[in-house]
Amino acid sequence: MSTRDSLHLTDEQLDDYADGVMSAGALASAEAHLAVCERCRRAVSDTREVLAWATHERATVTAPAELWPLVTSSTIHLAEVRRAVLRSMRGLLLAGALTIAAATAVVTWKLARWTSPERAAPARVTPRAERPGAGGPGRHAGHPVVPTPPAAPRAPEAPRR
């Protein structure tokens, strides 16, 4: 078979096979390939050795207490452990979230004050010049006259009962 080399199992397939989590169809084709491919058989064997070593290490090595949530959340039972870690850290996270929310609000408020044209308007020197008919003469000499587009007509409001 000349195309055999291009049909080797992928790393993901090797992991799934070694973990025993392949679907029936994928398992059948993986086993068919492993029956004729020494290279993939060796890869599966290597993967199983690593898995066995990792399981052994996990059972014999105790992480320092302060690192344990990090270690467990990065290994097995990911979602469950993450939830547990989040639960145990909820107070801390809540305090952090509130701090971030407050800081964001302050920054947003300051940016809005600096950039909002509505807020900048009262600082103009001659608001009188904005009235129709009052042209350039009243405007401060240092400020260029910027033509403002006419305001869109507003829909009449329904009379209140």
- Residues forming contacts to Zn ion in the complex (CB under 5 A) are 8, 37, 39-40
Of 39 and 124, which CB lies nearer to Zn ion in the complex structure? 39
Q: Minimal distance in Å, beta carbon 54 to Zn ion?
A: 24
User: Do 27 and 9 contact (CB within 8 A), yes or no?
Assistant: no
Q: Minimal distance in Å, beta carbon 39 to Zn ion?
A: 5
Of 38 and 66, which CB lies nearer to Zn ion in the complex structure? 38
Of 35 and 145, which CB lies nearer to Zn ion in the complex structure? 35
Tokens of 73: 């959340």
Q: Minimal distance in Å, beta carbon 40 to Zn ion?
A: 3
Please name the residue that has the structure tokens 């050795």: 49
Distance (Å, rounded) from C-alpha 3 to C-alpha 108?
61
H-only helix segments in 61-140? 68-73, 78-88, 90-115, 117-120
